[in-house]
Amino acid sequence: MKKNNNGKLRIIPLGGLEQIGMNITAFEYEDSIVVVDCGLSFPEDDMLGIDLVIPDVTYLKDNIDKVKGFVITHGHEDHIGALPYVLREVNVPIYATKLTIGLIDNKLKEHNLLRNTKRKVIKHGQSINLGCFRIEFIKTNHSIQDASALAIYSPAGIVIHTGDFKVDYTPVFGDAIDLQRFAEIGKKGVLALMCDSTNAERKGFTMSERTVGKTFDNIFSEHKNTRIIIATFASNVDRVQQIINSAYKYGRKVAVEGRSMVNVIGTAAELGYLQIPDKTLVDIDQIKNYPDDKVVLITTGSQGESMAALSRMAANIHKKVTIKPNDTIIFSSNPIPGNEKAVSRVINELSRKGADVIFQDAHVSGHACQEEIKLIYSLVKPKYAIPVHGEYRHLKAQAGIARDLGIPKENIFILSSGDVLELNEEEPAKVKEKVKTGAILVDGLGVGDVGNIVLRDRQHLAEDGIMIVVLTLEKHSSRLLAGPDIVSRGFVYVRESEDLMDEARIVVEDAIDICLDKHITDWGKIKNIIKDSLGDFLWKRTKRNPMILPIIMEA
């Protein structure tokens, strides 16, 4: 599948546009492809029973000889989560910063892929050569440490990809975003900027993560006599660091609960991204040995996830922690859209147990707001603007910002997943073709074995349940040997609806009689007649539309 690029760089988002999550973008120039990020997304409300969603990488498989490696911007699930699945088919080396590789390694270990995957740690400021590309890692800030923007040097020009980022002049750990380097590369001339759009609808500047530290100090000083439990994102190591700092200051031990929280804190501490004073951390089993006012518990569950530690505490089914009246419980992260009701449910349950629930509305996000986006555009001064990371409304909002900054309309591209944008310095950039992309559903061990038909069936079953009609016909004669039996699930309380079920049986018997009278022996036809007559009857009587499944056996 050799393609003639005519000296053009091809940018191919294989996911991550039109949605938050599943970020993955291929950069192709002649016989080289590098892939930036390889994330998963979480299932939409109508994807019943699905655990997670990964991108369709058919294009990479079809061009496997060209693919030089994955370059990962940071360690969040929507940027690394699909690696264990995609690597099975596209096994190329992974390049990322130290913490990012640490978190990827955790995943690969779980999936037994560590031994067969090459990973390389890259430092900020360092570059790597992959085929005809050179990729430079630039320091940024985000709600996880070690995030990078990428400068992608291709024969057709330089592309800057910000990854997820914010501008934090006073980060909790490490350096601020390397604005000088953005400016320096901008001076050289940048062909295209692919910039994070998540907060492009929000005016102003995102606050520094450090501002959260002060509110922790306030809360600790106001609640000196109670146990403190704090829920936040496992991956927000800086937030955890600030909790540990406040705990240390106020003489409290820190325990950690929730699988992902334990994992991330372990990895971050081991790699030096988290400073924990001696004897501050105690095991969750030990907290009972300390008085309540000497303990802080950091836990998962800030989004009301039903199986997370805090939700289990709220529901009284956590094995090690029981919520007590007067516990001070802090939600240290705003609900992600869609999680509001779940969060509220947990808050109600905790309040009912007498706990004092505090919502730390810190207005601190990991993503750049409008003024930060303008800053990056002004430093980089790209020829083309390609907003990334966000739903359509966010991409469009960034396109508006780019317009305001003087980038001509025809140089701004709101791409869809699968679009192949071809560009160089000479000719106008253009979406040339579309490659296959899609969302592959992961359900249990199954990858891709649940698709639209299965989902539609699940939605149908969820809505009104199922009614199964079984009958046995005699071979050749088609005489009714047994049945019809009707069994339903998820439709009505059968015991309280005996009349309805009796009538349904008569409807089915009548339908079968008609088939026998008319000598209809085609099972498909018999099934359809049963389906239609029973469906009509049930709709008239209940205004419901259960799935009707006739099964004919032959004896």
In 386-503 the beta strands, taken as DSSP E runs, fall at 419-423, 430-434, 439-443, 446-447, 466-473, 480-489
Shortest CB 414 distance to a copy of itself, Å: 9
Active-site choice (37, 56, 146, 196): 196
- Is residue 46 part of the annotated active site? The answer reads no
Q: Is residue 234 annotated as involved in ligand binding?
A: yes
Residues 526-555 that bind a copy of itself (CB under 8 A): 541-544, 547, 549, 551, 553-555
Environment class of 64 (CB within 10 Å of its CB; exposed 0-12, middle 13-18, buried 19+): middle
| Tokens encoding 95 | 């390049």
Residues 375-434 that bind a copy of itself (CB under 8 A): 391-393, 396
- Of the two residues 52 and 94, which places its CB atom closer to a copy of itself in the complex? 52
Shortest CB 32 distance to a copy of itself, Å: 33
- Of the two residues 320 and 541, which places its CB atom closer to a copy of itself in the complex? 541
Residue type at 32 in one-letter notation? S
Residues 307-346 that bind a copy of itself (CB under 8 A): 337-338, 340-341, 344
- Of the two residues 64 and 549, which places its CB atom closer to a copy of itself in the complex? 549
Please give the Cα distance from 293 to 176 (Å, whole number): 35
- CB contact at 8 A, 176 and 145: no
Query: Which one of residues 3, 5, 18, 121 is an interface residue with a copy of itself (CB under 8 A)?
Result: 18
Active-site choice (161, 223, 367, 394): 367
Tell me which stretch binds a copy of itself (CB under 8 A): 28-36, 69-77, 253-261, 463-471: 463-471
b/e for 349-387, b at 16 or more Cβ within 10 A?
bbeebebebbebebebbbbbbbebbebbbebbbbbbbbb
Q: Across-strand partners of 485?
A: 470
Query: Which one of residues 207, 282, 481, 514 is an interface residue with a copy of itself (CB under 8 A)?
Result: 481
Q: What is the DSSP string of 245-294?
A: HHHHHTT-EEEEESHHHHHHHHHHHHTTSS---TT-B--GGGGGGS-GGG
How many residues touch a copy of itself under the rule CB under 8 A: the total is: 65
Interface characters, 43-82, with a copy of itself (x: CB under 8 A) = -xx--xx---------------------------------
Q: What is the DSSP string of 145-157?
A: TT-EEEEEEETTE
| Helix (H) or strand (E) run with residue 5 in it | none
- Of the two residues 157 and 387, which places its CB atom closer to a copy of itself in the complex? 387
b/e for 266-301, b at 16 or more Cβ within 10 A?
ebbbebebbebeeebbbebeebeeeeeeebbbbbbb
HSE of 206 in the Cβ direction (CA atoms, 13 Å)?
Answer: 28
Q: Is residue 476 annotated as involved in ligand binding?
A: no
The full length of the chain comes to 555
Please give the Cα distance from 224 to 326 (Å, whole number): 11
- Of the two residues 57 and 473, which places its CB atom closer to a copy of itself in the complex? 473
Q: Which residues are within 8 A (CB) of 339 and not within 5 positions of it... i.e. 6 or more apart?
A: 303, 304, 305
- Of the two residues 374 and 458, which places its CB atom closer to a copy of itself in the complex? 458
For position 508 contacting a copy of itself by CB under 8 A, the verdict is no
DSSP 479: -
- Is residue 367 part of the annotated active site? The answer reads yes
Residues 222-281 that bind a copy of itself (CB under 8 A): none
Please report where in the chains the tokens 């790209």 appear, as a residue.
Answer: 382
Binding residue ranges for substrate = 234-236, 363-367
Binding residue ranges = 49, 51, 74, 76, 78-79, 142, 164, 234-236, 363-367, 389, 443
Binding residue ranges for Ca(2+) = 49, 51, 443
Residues contributing to the site for a copy of itself (CB under 8 A): 18, 44-45, 48-49, 337-338, 340-341, 344, 347-348, 351-352, 357, 391-393, 396, 443-446, 449-451, 453-455, 457-466, 468, 470-472, 481-483, 485, 487, 489-493, 496-497, 541-544, 547, 549, 551, 553-555
Catalytic (active-site) positions: 196, 367
